[in-house]
Amino acid sequence: MAWGKVTNPAPNDFVNGPEMCAWKYIIHTEDIHPDDSIDIGILYSGRLKYNMLCWSVIMGPKPRWLEFWTHLIVPGFNYVEVYRNWTNLCLHPCRSSTPPKLP
């Protein structure tokens, strides 16, 4: 990358804070690794506190990086807690390729 020739450092699909609130679901990520037994501890996302200002459903693992307010958030109330490897995000009914039949 030629640092001196960059005219637009943000990608075209960049979403700022207020635009993020237009989404019904927001994914919060940190420390993603395919092997959940490995505790990497090097990825931090500081946007959770801003995403909580939206009227969106926030899904993500329990925050590993602590801030002065993270002890106050409650899974199931402030966000939908998923496993760090995201294996419990979509349960069996969600995997169905056909829509459910209505009565």
Q: Where are the domains of the chain?
A: 16-30+44-86
Residues written for the chain = 103
15-70 tens-digit pLDDT: 788 888 888 888 888 765 555 555 555 666 788 888 899 889 999 888 887 889 88
pLDDT of residue 8: 61
pTM of the full structure: 0.64
Strands of the sheet containing 25-27, edge to edge, are 25-27, 57-60, 80-81
Asked if residue 86 has pLDDT above 70, the reply is yes
Tokens 């966000």 sit on residue: 79
